[in-house]
Amino acid sequence: MFILDDILLSPLKGLIWLADKVDEVAQKELYDKDNLKAKLMELQLRFELDEIGEEEYTKQETELLERLNIDMGEDEDESESADGKEGEIESKKEG
């Protein structure tokens, strides 16, 4: 019975795995710090060369900065949780 289930569900499992990989790559590209900084530099250059207007520049800059702040916030949360654990360990050693 389990073999039959595995055979029938394998295409679905493959599709789910593929969707997870696509999502992983998209999230990495969307929130990659270096990529976001490069896009901000490109945006500023396009604005300075008058390829885009101030309104469009402000709109795109705000969007990129929000994504950068989200990424930076995740990095800070990870470092704060690591610092908090170290502080707990040191206080237990003292006590």
Residues of the chain falling short of pLDDT 50: 91-93, 95
Which pLDDT does position 9 carry in this prediction? 85
- Same-domain status, 24 and 46: no
Residue pair 37/68 in contact by the 8 Å Cβ criterion: yes
**Residue 17 sits in which domain range?**
1-31
The b-or-e profile of 57-93 (16+ CB within 10 A means b, else e) is beebeeebeebbeebeeeeeeeeeeeeeeeeeeeeee
Q: How many domains does the chain fold into? A: 2
Contacts for 68 with CB less than 8 Å, ≥ 6 apart: 33, 36, 37, 40
27 and 49 share one domain: no
Could you tell me what percent of the chain has a pLDDT over 90? 40
